[in-house]
């Protein structure tokens, strides 16, 4: 009987230890859950701040679609000159200062039927806004450039100029060589 009593006491002590361990593990699990929730909140906040920063760095940018592309080896300098000509001749903006203008995507895509879009970075935000206001030609699509998080979040870019885009694009490109 003493062996049975000792075995029972040993089992009860083990059960008590396991219950205490379980309580400790539950407490630790709860602490970890709180830490994970805090980290998830911090990640969401940082994503929001990243979205804002990305949008802010692109605030002077416009994406322009519809500019004829040279068939072989157009450099970003040539693209900038072409964009300056378009801004001066078609949008009546002679004194616009561009920081940079370049085509989007690999040059291999230029062989397709549509020219690649151009991202234009203006030195001044007011010049960018003037380009948007003056974009009245039906062949030119001028789109403010947003960060990808803004687009995913529902702030979608829309063409500021619409119409029979492709038909008029072909007509205008015949009259404007872009060089």
Burial of 26 (0-12, 13-18, 19+ CB in 10 A): exposed
Q: 139 and 156: one domain? A: yes
Evaluate whether 73 touches 156 at the Cβ level (below 8 Å).
Answer: no
Instruction: State the total domains in the chain.
Output: 2
Evaluate whether 51 touches 149 at the Cβ level (below 8 Å).
Answer: yes
Quick one: average pLDDT of 28-39? 96
Q: 50 and 126: one domain? A: no
Mean pLDDT of the chain: 77
Among 10, 34, 57, give the residue marking a domain's end: 57
What does the pLDDT read at residue 112? 61
Q: Where do we find the tokens 């119409």? A: 163
The model's pTM: 0.59
Give the domain range for residue 12: 1-57
What does the pLDDT read at residue 38? 96
Q: Which of 108, 110, 104 lies closest to 69, judged by CA?
A: 110
pLDDT tens per residue across span 44-87: 999 999 988 888 888 899 888 888 888 777 888 889 998 999 88
How far apart are the C-alpha atoms of 37 and 50, rounded to whole Å? 20
pLDDT tens per residue across span 130-178: 888 887 656 667 777 655 444 444 443 333 333 333 344 344 444 433 4
């Amino acid at each position: 009987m003493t062996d049975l009593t000792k075995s029972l006491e040993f089992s009860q002590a083990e059960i008590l230890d396991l219950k205490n361990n379980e309580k400790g593990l539950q407490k630790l699990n709860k602490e970890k859950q709180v830490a994970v929730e805090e980290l998830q909140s911090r990640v969401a906040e940082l994503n929001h701040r990243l979205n804002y920063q990305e949008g802010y760095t692109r605030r002077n940018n416009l994406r322009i679609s519809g500019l004829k592309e040279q068939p072989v080896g157009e450099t970003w300098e040539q693209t900038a000159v072409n964009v300056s000509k378009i801004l001066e001749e078609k949008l009546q903006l002679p004194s616009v200062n561009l920081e940079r203008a370049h085509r989007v995507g690999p040059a291999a895509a230029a062989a397709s039927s549509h020219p690649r879009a151009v991202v234009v970075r203006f030195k001044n935000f007011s010049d960018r806004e003037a380009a948007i206001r003056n974009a009245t030609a039906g062949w030119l699509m001028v789109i403010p450039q947003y960060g990808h998080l803004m687009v995913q979040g529902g702030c979608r870019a829309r063409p500021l100029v619409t119409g029979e885009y492709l038909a008029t694009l072909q007509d205008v490109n015949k009259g404007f060589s872009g060089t």
